[in-house]
């Protein structure tokens, strides 16, 4: 039986990695086969592309270049890692995936819904997440909780207006794909969010 494909999405600092780590522990302790990936990255080639995208030296990079680089990293990850793992019955969990491209490059950098939807389809084919958890919290609130943005990360040091556009992009994609994307209130404490996360995962995927 094919494994479940689960992705986590949301603005910076909303608690994606915190919840992904909890899921890792949960699956590990219950002895369920799982693979955890981060986007962009997850293969040697994809990690090189990640460094190129995030480097401050590349502040002249335009939106289309950035979107295509994300897709290039993703194509490699899907072919080399995700597809074989799912075929093998492994649960695959990704910290950010296609909806990040939609929110960041589509909405915030203005490439638009049609371009990103087409790009995501070309890149992924039929490898679509069974469930996407959108950790819903506006960027101002997330940054305040985190104690400010990371100045060394090119994307995080963008203006708050940029992140508001990212958030609006997430809201848009969530309304376009309500079957796949489940919105979870990320403003609760980490235990409260986790209760909601694992309940949705158990209800919607093969994870037990």
Binding residues for Mg ion (CB under 5 A): 16-17
Window 10 to 49, contacts with ligand ATP (CB under 6 A):
10, 12-18
CB of 15 to ligand ATP, least distance (A): 3
Per-residue DSSP letters for 55-112?
-GGGTT--HHHHHHHHHHHHHHHIIIIIHHHHHTT-EEEEES-HHHHIIIIIIIS---
- Beta carbon nearer to Mg ion, 16 or 165: 16
* Helix pair angle (190-204, 16-29), 10° resolution: 60
CB of 192 to ligand ATP, least distance (A): 7
Measured in degrees and rounded to the nearest 5, phi and psi for residue 120 equal: -60, -40
- The answer to the question of residue 145 lying near ligand ATP (CB under 6 A) is yes
CB of 39 to Mg ion, least distance (A): 10
Report DSSP state, residue 189. Answer: -
Residues in binding contact with ligand ATP, number by CB under 6 A: 14
Question: Among ligand ATP, Mg ion, none, what binds residue 40 when CB lies within 5 to 8 Å by partner kind?
Answer: none
Per-residue buried b or exposed e for 29-68, using 16+ beta carbons within 10 Å of the residue's own CB: eeeeebbbbbbbbbbeebbebbebbeeeeeeeeebeebbe
Window 183 to 202, contacts with ligand ATP (CB under 6 A):
188-190, 193
Question: Among ligand ATP, Mg ion, none, what binds residue 83 when CB lies within 5 to 8 Å by partner kind?
Answer: none
Question: Among Mg ion, ligand ATP, none, what binds residue 14 when CB lies within 5 to 8 Å by partner kind?
Answer: ligand ATP
Look at residues 52, 114, 51, 101 and name the one whose alpha carbon lies nearest to residue 74: 101
Question: Among ligand ATP, Mg ion, none, what binds residue 145 when CB lies within 5 to 8 Å by partner kind?
Answer: ligand ATP
Report DSSP state, residue 206. Answer: S
- Beta carbon nearer to ligand ATP, 85 or 186: 186
- The answer to the question of residue 158 lying near ligand ATP (CB under 6 A) is no
Q: Which positions touch ligand ATP (CB under 6 A)? A: 10, 12-18, 145-146, 188-190, 193
């Amino acid at each position: 039986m094919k494994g479940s494909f689960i992705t986590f999405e949301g603005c910076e600092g909303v608690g994606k990695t915190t919840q992904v780590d909890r899921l890792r522990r949960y699956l590990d302790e219950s002895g369920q086969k799982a693979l955890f990936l981060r986007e962009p990255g997850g293969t040697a080639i994809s990690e090189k592309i990640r460094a190129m995208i995030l480097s401050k030296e590349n502040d002249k990079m335009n939106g289309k270049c950035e979107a295509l680089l994300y897709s290039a990293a993703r194509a490699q990850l899907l072919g080399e890692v995700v597809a074989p793992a799912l075929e093998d019955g492994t649960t695959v969990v990704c910290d950010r995936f296609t909806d990040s491209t939609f929110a960041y490059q589509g909405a915030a950098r203005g490439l638009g819904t049609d371009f990103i939807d087409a790009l995501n389809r070309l890149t992924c084919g039929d490898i679509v997440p069974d469930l996407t958890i959108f950790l819903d919290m506006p960027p101002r609130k997330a940054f305040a909780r985190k104690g400010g943005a990371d100045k060394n990360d090119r994307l995080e040091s963008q203006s708050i207006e940029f992140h508001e556009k990212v958030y609006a992009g997430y809201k848009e994609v969530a309304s376009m794909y309500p079957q796949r994307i489940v919105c979870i209130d990320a403003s609760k404490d980490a235990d409260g969010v986790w209760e909601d996360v694992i309940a949705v995962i158990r209800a919607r995927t093969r994870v037990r």
